[in-house]
Structure 1
Amino acid sequence: MARIGGRTAIALVAGIVLAAVVPAAAQPLTSRVEGTVQDETGSVVPGAFVLMTQVDTGIVWETTTDERGLYLFPRMPPGTFRVAAGAAGFATTVVEDVRVALNAPTSIDIVVEVGAVAETVVVAAAGPQSLLNTANAELNTNLSREQVRDLPLNGSDVTQLALTQAGVTGPAGARTASINGTRGTFNNFTLDGVNNQDTFIRTDALFGEIPVKESFIEEISITTGNADVDDGLGASQTQFVTRSGGNRFDTEAFFYHRNEAFNATNFFNKAAGIEKERVRVHEFGFNVGGPIARDRAFFFLNYEEERQPGSSSVVRRVLTDPARRGDFSYVRQDNG
């Protein structure tokens, strides 16, 4: 919501995230994780346990390998995980820092060594985790929280980051961007799996009912081609996921300021001796997140306020005194 003339634009986003596995009522915000468990000779290990633990929340998902040594987690939330696998007669192998991105299938092949289950072998995710999507033909790019926070923005609207992706063009800005040459109506713009497009205007690809600000966005997924059927309507998909709390308390405060002192004077204002337009933007707020019950329930609260005091130059035609009396003889007759 934006209001001009010194009035206030306020965006308030509050979320309480409860850790539970429930059926998704909207667009799924999950990814597929799969792989194999093998021994050092390359033979598969059937019946091995595989545990995935989300680092921030401590929530654990568990499955076992089938007779071919394959395991599958069909719907995992995005985040950073620790993956552990083991079996009778084998030591437990732990893969650290496994990154699961939204709409990006992940493959992790784990090798276990002969030994007692109580023994643990820790490896980095760089080796076992494959970053190549071999599950489907989607053309998908993800932007993590670190990228959302650190990449430069003009203001705090993160829809601008869509313009960094191949196939996304927007000469007039992200709002009216075109993805692979399609109309704005062909894009599906969602926030936490729920439609965020202005269905009244509808012609703009990235114009949402809720402003998408840097302070509360965790991840962005942009699918420019071959979107899967469960993504919903749209030839292209731009999905924004909000931040959530974890087992650790985190808080931040922020302030963004823009001032006309750093702007050039408009050519016409300068020619007419009029002072430059006043353009000032004040964006400030805070957020806090943490546990309600450790490993079970979490909260995240974000407050952001935007103030835009400013002025605009207006060009008007003012009649001369003779013209006000009905004498228009000063007007050239050749229309030149």
Structure 2
Amino acid sequence: MIQRLSSTQLLVRCLLGIALLLTPQTMVAQSFTASVFGTVTDTTGAAIPNATVIAVNEATNTRTEAKSDIAGKYLLPALPPGRYRLEAFASGFKKYVQSGVELAVQQQAKIDPGLQVGELTESVTVESSVSTIETSTSTIGKVVSNKAILNLPLNSRNIYSLIYLTPGVAGSIGNNYNSMSYSINGARASMMDTLIDGATASHPTVQGYSGISAFPSVDAIGEFKVLGANFQAEYGRTAGSVLNVVYKSGTNQFHGTAYEFLRNSKLDANTFYNNLRGVPLSSFKRSQYGGTFGGPIKKDKTFFMSSYEGLRQRSFSSRTATVPTELERAGNFTQTFAGANNPVLVFDPFTTRANPAGSGFIRDAFAGNVIPTSRMDRVGANMAKFNPLPNTQGNAFTNANNYYSQGSSSLDIDQIDARVDHSFTPNHRFFVRYSYRNQDSLPAILWPKELTAAETT
């Protein structure tokens, strides 16, 4: 049976649908911002409709406005994390002001302004903090604030290492794009998703890890949040966990930082066993330096933040190997032993034949354990010339480990981040961010350069 609706019924249903869409909801999906919601009431607890509620960012003076509905409910969505001042007012009531409202990544803060009867020119100031207990969502997560990011020790200044502050984290976190092999609450490493300023930065890797496309500087990050379980449907890309990272933005004041973290083996003590054997401490030099600078382009409207970080690292490497002796290069294996009185015999492959005494095959050793020059391949003989000659005393019987070399490996990284924020209206904002990272890693040259070039081509 098909039910036909009159034009009046159709109009009513359309209006109801539009009203539902326009009614403030406390469960609006937020990728990386915060929100404030609540109910505006008078001193008797009665709802105040059409009240104006404003959230003012104390660092940038940008404003986000909303009106309370007929039930007094309001919603201020998409607020960048930071410190805010909340204002609420309506005709016939004193202005309500609550300062020092700290909002974290994805926080849904509930604030119920209570307006007192009086003139609008009068105000009631409330000094209280917002509860960090989430009452509007069942998401289990951990927020790491900017203060913790800057003050906690980070050996390699890898921002993602702070994930270990969250319960249930296991695995390893490296400094490369394809080395994020951590898991939360037993999920696979490939099930992790990373959001940077609301956009996914994760990608799969051939090792099955959760790769990441950006490694921001510690000083460029405002805060981040790790969602471990029960996160909302907006995070449908992952079945494991979500790491939500938010960059800093500029403010109405110019601010800058500069730093350098230095490690040098000349400032380090040698190990006990190295001292016991008379071995000097291996050389290691690492310098990590950079800075940030940000401020207003147009006060209360447009802001910028920029960051640069560089890394220069040089570390000692050594190699012990076994290389052919001059006799072995010439095909003479009379001095090649597998142990005491146990010579290594070299057999002629062209003498291979069926074993007349049983199953299998047999073959004859070269006369005198020397390969004739006429039997040597010219290409192989020329390639053998690229191998270095022994330069140290090897094993007394086998002559193994008769080559030693040392060198320095290098790691150079340059990271640049820049962000610009602009506020068009109290409820319309825009930002753009650019991140660049270049990494050059060169291993130590532990073989002759000619051979190294042949290995890499």
Q: For this structure pair, what is the TM-score category when the shorter chain's length is used for normalisation? A: 0.7 to 0.9
Instruction: Provide closer, same or farther for how the CA distance between residues 42 and 130 of structure 1 changes in structure 2, counting only shifts above 3 A.
Output: farther
1:223 corresponds to which letter in structure 2? L
**Match in the other structure for 1:137:** 138
Q: Distance in 1 between matches of 2:206 and 2:83?
A: 38
Does the 8 Å CA contact 1:103/1:140 hold for their aligned counterparts?
no
Q: Distance in 1 between matches of 2:56 and 2:246?
A: 20
Q: Distance in 2 between matches of 1:44 and 1:225?
A: 35
2:337 aligned residue (323, 328, 334): 328
**Match in the other structure for 1:71:** 74
Instruction: Provide closer, same or farther for how the CA distance between residues 191 and 109 of structure 1 changes in structure 2, counting only shifts above 3 A.
Output: same
1:245 aligned residue (223, 247, 250): 250
Deviation at 1:161, TM superposition (A): 0.6
1:22-72 per-position Cα deviation (integer Å, ceiling 9, x unaligned): xxxxx8322232111122222222221101111111111111111221111
**Match in the other structure for 2:216:** 212
Q: Distance in 1 between matches of 2:341 and 2:141?
A: 61
1:199 aligned residue (204, 216, 226): 204
Compare 61-70 and 174-183 and name the one that shifted more: 174-183
1:284-332 per-position Cα deviation (integer Å, ceiling 9, x unaligned): 1121100111111111111111100111233434678998754315259
Instruction: Provide closer, same or farther for how the CA distance between residues 114 and 327 of structure 1 changes in structure 2, counting only shifts above 3 A.
Output: same
TM-score by length of 2: 0.61
Residue 286 in structure 1 maps to residue 330 in structure 2: no
Residue 32 in structure 1 maps to residue 35 in structure 2: yes
**Match in the other structure for 2:194:** 189
SS in 1 for 2:149: helix
SS in 1 for 2:117: coil
Which ranges of structure 1 fall in alignment gaps of 5 or more residues? 1-26
Which ranges of structure 2 fall in alignment gaps of 5 or more residues? 1-29, 343-457
Compare 189-198 and 301-310 and name the one that shifted more: 189-198
**Match in the other structure for 1:42:** 45
Compare 32-41 and 192-201 and name the one that shifted more: 192-201
1:159 corresponds to which letter in structure 2? Y
Instruction: Provide closer, same or farther for how the CA distance between residues 149 and 72 of structure 1 changes in structure 2, counting only shifts above 3 A.
Output: same
**Match in the other structure for 1:168:** 169
Compare 169-178 and 152-161 and name the one that shifted more: 169-178
Cα RMSD between the aligned structures? 2.6
1:141 corresponds to which letter in structure 2? K
Deviation at 1:274, TM superposition (A): 3.8
TM-score by length of 1: 0.81
Q: How many corresponding residue pairs? A: 303
Residue 97 in structure 1 maps to residue 100 in structure 2: yes
SS in 1 for 2:219: helix
**Match in the other structure for 1:262:** 268
Compare 249-258 and 29-38 and name the one that shifted more: 29-38
Compare 67-76 and 161-170 and name the one that shifted more: 67-76
Q: Distance in 2 between matches of 1:270 and 1:319?
A: 33
SS in 1 for 2:216: coil
SS in 1 for 2:205: coil
Q: Distance in 1 between matches of 2:95 and 2:341?
A: 92
Q: Distance in 2 between matches of 1:238 and 1:124?
A: 32
**Match in the other structure for 2:225:** 221
1:116-175 per-position Cα deviation (integer Å, ceiling 9, x unaligned): 11111111232xx33221222111221121111111211211111100111112367793
Does the 8 Å CA contact 2:252/2:303 hold for their aligned counterparts?
yes
Q: Distance in 1 between matches of 2:145 and 2:81?
A: 10
Instruction: Provide closer, same or farther for how the CA distance between residues 198 and 281 of structure 1 changes in structure 2, counting only shifts above 3 A.
Output: farther
**Match in the other structure for 1:16:** none
SS in 1 for 2:180: coil
**Match in the other structure for 2:364:** none
Instruction: Provide closer, same or farther for how the CA distance between residues 131 and 320 of structure 1 changes in structure 2, counting only shifts above 3 A.
Output: same
1:330 corresponds to which letter in structure 2? G
1:176 corresponds to which letter in structure 2? S
**Match in the other structure for 1:154:** 155
Q: Greater Rg, structure 1 or structure 2? A: 2
1:301 aligned residue (306, 311, 322): 306
1:293 corresponds to which letter in structure 2? K
Q: Distance in 2 between matches of 1:71 and 1:331?
A: 89
